Chains A and B, each alone.
Chain A
Amino acid sequence: NAGVTQTPKFQVLKTGQSMTLQCAQDMNHEYMSWYRQDPGMGLRLIHYSVGAGITDQGEVPNGYNVSRSTTEDFPLRLLSAAPSQTSVYFCASSSRGADTQYFGPGTRLTVL
């Protein structure tokens, strides 16, 4: 199993550009989530999904969109990037319920 994969590993955007961060898992997990990590702030939840077709907002959802059309994939979209979105983004997945979340390797995004 590859576990949780994320692409790209690094990305530089200009303010106002859009892009999609990809996340995929091959563990048949129903629960998937996106976090951003900023220095001194730990990880903060952006959006999460409890199954295909079901998504909800986390702690810091503004500026981000998600959808979940399949169990395997959970892309994160930035419609109009801002410098405040410069961060490291992690995707995670788990089985339903109070189970361990498995994290991807992260995407380091810089918005100029």
Chain B
Amino acid sequence: AQSVTQPDIHITVSEGASLELRCNYSYGATPYLFWYVQSPGQGLQLLLKYFSGDTLVQGIKGFEAEFKRSQSSFNLRKPSVHWSDAAEYFCAVGALTGGGNKLTFGTGTQLKVEL
């Protein structure tokens, strides 16, 4: 069975600083990997996804993530954080099952941005 680990529960960065959120996954085959963001009281919005091809994936809001098979990682990065990026971030791995894509989520990383 697949699993996802987000080792950082909380991260605080200053506005304008760079950001890296860590994600490690466990899956027997080629994974489908996702990063979602959740603002307080809201649903989840997709930031980016990796299915195949280029291991550096660009997403919305200036985010990018790099798939590293040797390290089983899919870390999320942003060169300069904005105060509006404060939210909870979830990494997920998908497994094709009977025609559907079952997602397994990590426990999330809460990002706080200091002005």
Q: Using a CB–CB distance below 8 Å, which chain A residues touch chain B?
A: 30-31, 33, 35, 40-45, 48-51, 54, 56, 58-59, 90, 92, 94, 96-106
Contacts and interface: CB of A to CB of B under 8 A. Distances in A.
A97 B108 contact: no
Query: What is the interface of chain A mostly: helix, strand, loop, or mixed?
Result: strand
B46 A100 contact: yes
A90 B99 contact: no
19 contacts: A30-B99, A31-B101, A33-B103, A35-B105, A42-B105, A43-B92, A48-B100, A48-B102, A49-B100, A50-B98, A51-B99, A92-B44, A96-B99, A97-B99, A97-B101, A98-B101, A100-B46, A105-B43, A106-B42
B76 to A, nearest CB: 15
A90 B100 CA distance: 17
- The size bracket of the interface on B is 20 to 34
Nearest to B30: A98
Contacts of B44: 43, 90, 92, 103
B99 A100 contact: no
A101 B107 contact: no
A3 B105 CA distance: 22
B25 interface: no
B51 interface: yes
